[in-house]
Amino acid sequence: MFATVDAELAGFARAWLDRLALERRFAPRTVAAYGRDLDGFFSFLARHLGGPADVRALGALAPRDLRAWLAERQRRGYARSSTMRAMAAVRGFFRFLERQGVEASAAVRAIRLGGLRRMLPRALAPEEAERLLAAAAVPERALWVAARDRALLALLWGAGLRIGEALALTRAAVGAEPAALRELRVRGKGGRTRLVPILPEVAGALAEYVAACPWPLPPEGPLFRGVRGGPLQAGVVQALVRRLRIALGLPETATPHALRHSFATHLLSAGADLRAIQELLGHRSLSTTQRYTAVDASRLLALYNAFHPRAVESDPQRQDCGAEPPPLRPGVSD
């Protein structure tokens, strides 16, 4: 990596990535993605400038040079979201250089990509999540593997964990008696920890898996194991959910991360406080959690149309029906 720049600039780039990982506690995958983005930018500069870039070349960049880089990404078919991330990486690196006392071009601050429409979380309906967990409990091979898969998916939906957070759990995290587990300490993004309540059903699934697992589970070792005894990999879980959603006829949006989104959306539907959901998910900013209010907007509108008298009066198709509105699901607050 960084083979297309001189040694001094490559050293600055590696120092910046180290800072992201060690000081700002970025996730390893995020640091790796930023490194690839920056390396790609350097490779473009080598072609664009006719030779390896150095610190002086970065200081002399003009807006047209940055636009040429963006145009090349567009020609190569990069997604807009990918280019937004790459631009964030380049801007972050330039700010780092300035803090190190290195003169960096201000051209990068002059480039604007415009807003990127933020995708709404893709949640499953409660009955879809139930079907997914039930299907995971049906053994395809060993019984303990089915118990593991159900316990893991139950954590994602029942506790709102990210897949990486669940796979990072140690055996000690669930206690000597997993069936009695009532809260779980989770280490999330940026090294932040949070306490998540555990439902008895989820605790029961964890206890069943721990009892059935044929591999030793030392306290500080990984809780979830692969079929050969090593740490379970995220790709295995993603492949499992992909097989299950095809078999069950669920949409392509049914992914392991969709279970976390479902956790938040279902809590919001039941009247949970947005601040409480923020704490349970481990979001740094409430604005991130507020996305779920948009997900639930269609359901809220349906409830309004079903129950508000003015809604009945203003809808000609419903004025003559006289039928009772559909009941609220259990647990839904008015």
- On average, the pLDDT of the chain sits at 83
193-244 pLDDT, tens digit per residue, is 888 899 999 999 999 999 999 999 999 999 999 999 999 999 999 999 999 9
- Co-location of 141 and 80 in the same domain: no
Flag the least confident range among 96-105, 237-246, 317-326: 317-326
- pLDDT tens digits, one per residue of 105-155: 777 877 776 544 555 557 888 899 999 999 998 887 789 999 999 999 999
| 146 and 170 fall within a common domain | yes
Judgement on whether residues 163 and 54 belong to the same structural domain of the protein? no
Domain total in the chain:
2
Residue 309 is predicted with a pLDDT of 66
pLDDT of residue 320: 42
What residues have CB less than 8 Å from 225, skipping those under 6 apart? 148, 213, 215, 217, 231, 232
Asked whether residue 157 falls in the same domain as residue 271, the answer is yes
Task: Specify if 333 maps to a domain.
Answer: no
- The predicted-structure confidence for 300-309, as pLDDT tens digits, reads as follows 566 567 666 6
Q: Is 311's pLDDT higher than 60?
A: no
For residue 118, give the amino acid letter: R
> What CATH number did the domain enclosing 196 receive?
1.10.443.10
- Side-chain-side CA neighbours of 76 within 13 Å: the count stands at 11
CA distance 168 to 155: 12
Choose one of 83, 110, 137: the last residue of a domain.
110
Q: Given 189, 242, 299, 318, which residue is catalytic?
A: 189
Greater confidence (189 vs 205) lies with: 205
| Enclosing H/E stretch for 194 | strand 193-197
pLDDT of residue 279: 78
| 325 within domain boundaries | no
Residues 15, 99 within the same domain? yes
Note the pLDDT of residue 147. Answer: 95
Which of 148, 171, 225, 292 is flagged as catalytic? 292
> Are the C-beta atoms of residues 29 and 167 closer than 8 Å to each other?
no
The whole-angstrom separation of Cα 75 and Cα 81 is: 15
Residue 261 designated active-site = no
Q: What is the CA radius of gyration of the chain?
A: 25
283 classed as catalytic: yes
311 touches 317 (CB < 8 A): no
Are 27 and 90 within one domain? yes
Assigned domain for 319 exists: no
Beta strand segments in 59-164, E: none
Which range, 221-225, 322-326, 329-333, has the best average confidence (pLDDT)? 221-225
Report yes or no on 91 lying in a domain: yes
pLDDT at 283 over 80: no
Could you list the residue range(s) of the whole structural domain that residue 63 is in? 7-110
Pick the residue with more confidence: 315 or 95?
A: 95
Q: What is the pLDDT of residue 314?
A: 44
Q: Is residue 137 part of a domain?
A: yes
pTM of structure = 0.61
Q: Are 50 and 94 in contact (CB under 8 A)?
A: no
Higher pLDDT, 70 or 299: 70
pLDDT at 19: 93
- Inter-CA distances, 231 with 164, 175, 241, Å: 12, 19, 18
Domain termination site, one of 85, 110, 135 = 110
Task: Report whether pLDDT(323) > 50.
Answer: no
Nearest Cα to Cα of residue 125 among 281, 230, 258, 19: 258
Does the pLDDT at position 274 exceed 60?
Answer: yes
Do both 44 and 105 map to the same domain?
yes
Q: What is the mean pLDDT of residues 260-272?
A: 81
Portion of the chain with pLDDT greater than 70, in percent? 82
Which of 148, 261, 266, 283 is the catalytic position? 283
Show the 3-state SS of 29-86: HHHHHHHHHHHHHHHHHHHHHCCCECHHHHHCCCHHHHHHHHHHHHHCCCCHHHHHHH
Mean pLDDT of 263-287: 77
Pairing relationship of beta strands 193-197 and 183-187 according to DSSP bridges: antiparallel
Query: What is residue 265's predicted lDDT score, i.e. its pLDDT?
Result: 82
Residue that is last in its domain, among 61, 79, 110? 110
Confidence (pLDDT) at 331: 38
Which of 162, 171, 194, 261 is catalytic? The answer is 162
The predicted pLDDT at position 291 comes to 67
Asked whether 53 and 6 are in contact (CB, 8 A), the reply is: yes
The answer to the question of residue 321 being in a domain is no
Q: What is residue 109's predicted lDDT score, i.e. its pLDDT?
A: 78
Q: CA 56 to CA 53: how far, in whole Å?
A: 8
Q: Which tokens is 300 given?
A: 């809220």
On whether both 216 and 271 belong to a single domain, the answer is yes
Do the Cβ atoms of 54 and 8 come closer than 8 Å?
yes
91 and 152, same domain (yes or no): no
Whether 18 and 89 map to the same domain: the answer is: yes
Q: Are 245 and 252 in contact (CB under 8 A)?
A: yes
* Three-state SS at 224: coil
- pLDDT bucket at 278, cuts 50 / 70 / 90: confident
Please, what is the end-to-end C-alpha distance for the chain in angstroms? 56
pLDDT at position 120, please? Answer: 55
318: in domain: no
Indicate if 170 and 97 belong to the same structural domain.
no
CATH of the domain at 64: 1.10.150.130
Together in a domain, 13 and 135: no
- pLDDT above 70: residue 310: no
Catalytic residue among 150, 260, 261, 266: 260
pLDDT at 290: 65
More confident residue, 121 or 69: 69
Tell whether 308 is covered by a domain. no
pLDDT at 292: 65
pLDDT for the residue numbered 308? 64
For this structure, is 299 an active site residue?
Answer: no
* Four-CA torsion 246, 252, 256, 259, nearest 10 degrees: -110
